[in-house]
A and B are shown apart, each in its own frame.
Chain A
Amino acid sequence: ILNVEQSPQSLHVQEGDSTNFTCSFPSSNFYALHWYRWETAKSPEALFVMTLNGDEKKKGRISATLNTKEGYSYLYIKGSQPEDSATYLCASHPQDSGTYKYIFGTGTRLKVLA
Protein backbone atom coordinates (compact mmCIF):
# COMPACT_ATOMS: atom_id res chain seq x y z
CA ILE A 1 0.00 0.00 0.00
CA LEU A 2 1.47 3.32 -1.02
CA ASN A 3 -1.35 5.54 0.09
CA VAL A 4 -3.60 5.76 3.08
CA GLU A 5 -6.94 4.11 2.39
CA GLN A 6 -10.05 4.26 4.49
CA SER A 7 -13.08 2.03 4.27
CA PRO A 8 -15.94 2.25 3.98
CA GLN A 9 -16.27 5.65 2.34
CA SER A 10 -19.55 6.22 4.10
CA LEU A 11 -22.04 4.40 6.26
CA HIS A 12 -25.34 4.91 7.99
CA VAL A 13 -26.06 3.24 11.32
CA GLN A 14 -28.97 3.37 13.72
CA GLU A 15 -28.63 5.07 17.06
CA GLY A 16 -27.32 2.56 19.58
CA ASP A 17 -25.51 0.41 17.03
CA SER A 18 -21.80 -0.17 17.34
CA THR A 19 -19.66 0.31 14.30
CA ASN A 20 -16.09 0.22 13.12
CA PHE A 21 -14.05 1.31 10.16
CA THR A 22 -10.58 0.76 8.81
CA CYS A 23 -7.51 2.79 7.94
CA SER A 24 -4.82 1.03 5.88
CA PHE A 25 -1.39 2.60 5.57
CA PRO A 26 2.12 1.69 4.35
CA SER A 27 3.59 -0.60 7.01
CA SER A 28 7.19 0.01 6.04
CA ASN A 29 8.68 3.18 7.50
CA PHE A 30 5.84 3.61 9.98
CA TYR A 31 6.20 6.39 12.54
CA ALA A 32 2.76 7.42 13.76
CA LEU A 33 -0.92 7.28 12.91
CA HIS A 34 -3.42 10.03 13.72
CA TRP A 35 -7.22 9.83 13.87
CA TYR A 36 -9.36 12.96 13.53
CA ARG A 37 -13.09 13.60 13.72
CA TRP A 38 -14.43 16.27 11.37
CA GLU A 39 -17.96 17.46 11.99
CA THR A 40 -19.72 19.53 9.36
CA ALA A 41 -18.97 23.25 9.66
CA LYS A 42 -16.34 22.63 12.33
CA SER A 43 -12.60 22.03 12.35
CA PRO A 44 -11.08 18.54 12.38
CA GLU A 45 -10.48 17.48 15.97
CA ALA A 46 -7.67 15.16 17.00
CA LEU A 47 -8.91 11.90 18.51
CA PHE A 48 -5.86 9.71 18.85
CA VAL A 49 -2.16 9.59 18.04
CA MET A 50 -0.89 6.02 17.87
CA THR A 51 2.73 5.01 17.61
CA LEU A 52 3.32 1.47 18.88
CA ASN A 53 2.25 -1.83 17.39
CA GLY A 54 -0.62 -3.19 19.45
CA ASP A 55 -1.55 0.26 20.77
CA GLU A 56 -5.12 0.63 21.94
CA LYS A 57 -6.52 4.04 22.74
CA LYS A 58 -9.92 4.96 24.15
CA LYS A 59 -11.88 8.18 24.51
CA GLY A 60 -15.37 7.67 25.87
CA ARG A 61 -17.26 5.37 23.49
CA ILE A 62 -14.59 5.63 20.79
CA SER A 63 -11.54 3.40 20.70
CA ALA A 64 -8.81 2.56 18.21
CA THR A 65 -6.30 -0.21 17.66
CA LEU A 66 -3.08 -0.27 15.68
CA ASN A 67 -1.26 -3.01 13.78
CA THR A 68 1.95 -1.60 12.32
CA LYS A 69 3.20 -4.91 10.95
CA GLU A 70 0.27 -5.35 8.60
CA GLY A 71 -0.47 -1.65 8.23
CA TYR A 72 -3.97 -1.06 9.54
CA SER A 73 -5.86 0.67 12.31
CA TYR A 74 -9.46 0.17 13.36
CA LEU A 75 -11.69 2.82 14.88
CA TYR A 76 -14.63 1.56 16.94
CA ILE A 77 -17.66 3.45 18.14
CA LYS A 78 -19.77 1.73 20.75
CA GLY A 79 -23.45 2.62 21.01
CA SER A 80 -23.41 5.27 18.26
CA GLN A 81 -25.21 8.54 18.94
CA PRO A 82 -26.38 11.20 16.46
CA GLU A 83 -23.61 13.49 17.71
CA ASP A 84 -21.07 10.94 16.44
CA SER A 85 -22.09 11.83 12.89
CA ALA A 86 -18.94 13.17 11.26
CA THR A 87 -16.17 12.31 8.84
CA TYR A 88 -13.39 10.32 10.48
CA LEU A 89 -9.96 10.92 8.99
CA CYS A 90 -6.76 9.01 9.52
CA ALA A 91 -3.30 10.25 8.65
CA SER A 92 -0.06 8.31 8.44
CA HIS A 93 3.21 9.92 9.43
CA PRO A 94 6.10 8.07 7.72
CA GLN A 95 9.43 7.91 9.50
CA ASP A 96 11.50 9.70 6.88
CA SER A 97 9.08 12.55 6.43
CA GLY A 98 10.43 15.00 8.96
CA THR A 99 7.96 16.68 11.22
CA TYR A 100 5.49 17.73 8.57
CA LYS A 101 4.58 15.03 6.12
CA TYR A 102 1.25 13.45 6.90
CA ILE A 103 -0.56 11.33 4.35
CA PHE A 104 -4.30 11.66 4.83
CA GLY A 105 -6.96 9.20 3.83
CA THR A 106 -10.17 10.40 2.21
CA GLY A 107 -12.17 9.71 5.34
CA THR A 108 -15.16 7.63 6.41
CA ARG A 109 -18.38 9.62 6.56
CA LEU A 110 -20.61 8.33 9.37
CA LYS A 111 -24.27 9.20 9.71
CA VAL A 112 -26.06 8.04 12.86
CA LEU A 113 -29.81 7.92 12.44
CA ALA A 114 -31.98 8.71 15.46
Chain B
Amino acid sequence: DVKVTQSSRYLVKRTGEKVFLECVQDMDHENMFWYRQDPGLGLRLIYFSYDVKMKEKGDIPEGYSVSREKKERFSLILESASTNQTSMYLCASSWTGGRNQPQHFGDGTRLSIL
Protein backbone atom coordinates (compact mmCIF):
# COMPACT_ATOMS: atom_id res chain seq x y z
CA ASP B 1 0.00 0.00 0.00
CA VAL B 2 1.08 3.54 -0.69
CA LYS B 3 2.11 5.43 2.40
CA VAL B 4 2.09 9.22 2.53
CA THR B 5 3.43 10.49 5.82
CA GLN B 6 3.06 14.01 7.11
CA SER B 7 5.45 15.02 9.84
CA SER B 8 2.93 16.39 12.34
CA ARG B 9 -0.77 15.83 13.02
CA TYR B 10 -1.09 19.02 15.05
CA LEU B 11 1.09 22.09 15.07
CA VAL B 12 0.80 25.42 16.88
CA LYS B 13 2.96 28.34 15.76
CA ARG B 14 3.08 32.07 16.27
CA THR B 15 2.47 34.86 13.81
CA GLY B 16 5.62 35.70 11.88
CA GLU B 17 7.32 32.36 12.41
CA LYS B 18 8.72 30.37 9.52
CA VAL B 19 6.86 27.06 9.42
CA PHE B 20 7.85 23.85 7.66
CA LEU B 21 5.37 21.08 6.86
CA GLU B 22 7.02 17.90 5.64
CA CYS B 23 5.56 15.12 3.51
CA VAL B 24 7.17 11.83 2.48
CA GLN B 25 5.80 9.15 0.16
CA ASP B 26 7.19 5.68 -0.29
CA MET B 27 5.90 4.68 -3.74
CA ASP B 28 8.21 6.54 -6.10
CA HIS B 29 5.36 8.77 -7.29
CA GLU B 30 6.30 11.58 -9.65
CA ASN B 31 3.55 13.95 -8.58
CA MET B 32 3.13 15.50 -5.17
CA PHE B 33 0.60 18.06 -3.98
CA TRP B 34 -0.14 20.35 -1.07
CA TYR B 35 -3.75 21.28 -0.32
CA ARG B 36 -5.49 23.16 2.43
CA GLN B 37 -9.00 22.46 3.63
CA ASP B 38 -11.18 25.04 5.32
CA PRO B 39 -14.78 24.73 6.55
CA GLY B 40 -17.31 25.09 3.75
CA LEU B 41 -14.66 24.92 1.03
CA GLY B 42 -13.34 22.03 -1.01
CA LEU B 43 -9.70 21.08 -0.95
CA ARG B 44 -7.73 23.89 -2.55
CA LEU B 45 -4.41 23.29 -4.28
CA ILE B 46 -1.51 25.37 -2.96
CA TYR B 47 1.40 23.93 -4.94
CA PHE B 48 2.14 20.94 -7.10
CA SER B 49 5.38 19.22 -8.11
CA TYR B 50 5.76 16.77 -10.99
CA ASP B 51 9.46 16.02 -10.53
CA VAL B 52 12.44 16.77 -8.33
CA LYS B 53 13.11 20.51 -8.15
CA MET B 54 10.03 21.20 -10.30
CA LYS B 55 7.05 23.06 -8.89
CA GLU B 56 3.97 24.85 -10.10
CA LYS B 57 1.59 27.18 -8.33
CA GLY B 58 -1.87 25.99 -7.59
CA ASP B 59 -4.92 28.09 -6.87
CA ILE B 60 -3.75 29.73 -3.63
CA PRO B 61 0.07 29.95 -3.54
CA GLU B 62 0.33 33.36 -1.87
CA GLY B 63 2.22 33.21 1.40
CA TYR B 64 3.61 29.73 0.70
CA SER B 65 6.63 28.20 -0.96
CA VAL B 66 7.66 24.60 -1.53
CA SER B 67 10.77 22.51 -1.86
CA ARG B 68 11.33 19.17 -3.56
CA GLU B 69 14.97 18.19 -3.35
CA LYS B 70 14.29 14.44 -3.36
CA LYS B 71 11.58 12.54 -5.17
CA GLU B 72 10.01 11.17 -2.02
CA ARG B 73 9.86 14.41 -0.05
CA PHE B 74 7.79 17.55 -0.62
CA SER B 75 7.95 20.39 1.89
CA LEU B 76 5.52 23.27 2.33
CA ILE B 77 6.98 26.44 3.81
CA LEU B 78 5.10 29.32 5.36
CA GLU B 79 7.68 32.08 5.14
CA SER B 80 6.03 34.31 7.74
CA ALA B 81 2.99 32.63 9.24
CA SER B 82 -0.21 34.61 9.57
CA THR B 83 -3.46 33.81 11.36
CA ASN B 84 -5.31 33.33 8.06
CA GLN B 85 -3.07 30.34 7.39
CA THR B 86 -4.67 28.45 10.26
CA SER B 87 -6.07 25.41 8.46
CA MET B 88 -5.89 21.69 7.78
CA TYR B 89 -3.06 20.90 5.34
CA LEU B 90 -3.09 17.73 3.27
CA CYS B 91 -0.27 16.29 1.23
CA ALA B 92 -0.95 13.88 -1.64
CA SER B 93 0.98 11.97 -4.27
CA SER B 94 0.15 10.18 -7.51
CA TRP B 95 1.66 8.47 -10.52
CA THR B 96 1.95 10.27 -13.80
CA GLY B 97 0.15 8.08 -16.26
CA GLY B 98 -3.17 9.39 -17.30
CA ARG B 99 -6.48 10.12 -15.83
CA ASN B 100 -6.97 6.80 -14.04
CA GLN B 101 -4.47 7.64 -11.32
CA PRO B 102 -6.02 8.53 -7.96
CA GLN B 103 -4.28 10.69 -5.43
CA HIS B 104 -2.96 9.15 -2.21
CA PHE B 105 -3.25 11.37 0.81
CA GLY B 106 -1.51 11.79 4.13
CA ASP B 107 -3.40 12.10 7.40
CA GLY B 108 -3.21 15.88 7.38
CA THR B 109 -1.63 18.49 9.61
CA ARG B 110 -3.92 20.76 11.59
CA LEU B 111 -1.99 23.99 11.86
CA SER B 112 -2.93 26.79 14.23
CA ILE B 113 -1.26 30.18 13.97
CA LEU B 114 -1.67 32.29 17.11
**Which residues of chain A have a CB within 8 Å of any CB of chain B?**
3-4, 31-32, 34, 36, 41-46, 49, 51, 89, 91, 93, 99-107
Contact = CB atoms under 8 A, between A and B. Distances in A.
A101 to B, nearest CB: 7
A37 to B, nearest CB: 11
B59 to A, nearest CB: 9
Contacts of A100: 31, 33, 45, 48, 50, 56, 58
Contacts of A91: 42-43
A31 B99 contact: yes
Contacts, number: 61
B39 to A, nearest CB: 9
Nearest to B106: A43
Contacts of A45: 105
B80 to A, nearest CB: 26
Contacts of B108: 43
B96 interface: yes
Given A42-B107, A99-B50, A100-B50, A89 B43 contact: yes
Contacts of A106: 40-42
A41 to B, nearest CB: 7
Contacts of B100: 32, 49, 51
Interface residues of B, number: 27
Contact of A51 (B4, B31, B56, B99): B99
Contacts of A103: 42
Contacts of B107: 41-43
A46 B101 CA distance: 10
Given A44-B90, A99-B31, A100-B45, A32 B99 contact: yes
Nearest to B33: A100
A107 B103 contact: no
B42 A99 contact: no
Nearest to B101: A49
A43 B105 contact: yes
Contact of A107 (B42, B50, B58): B42
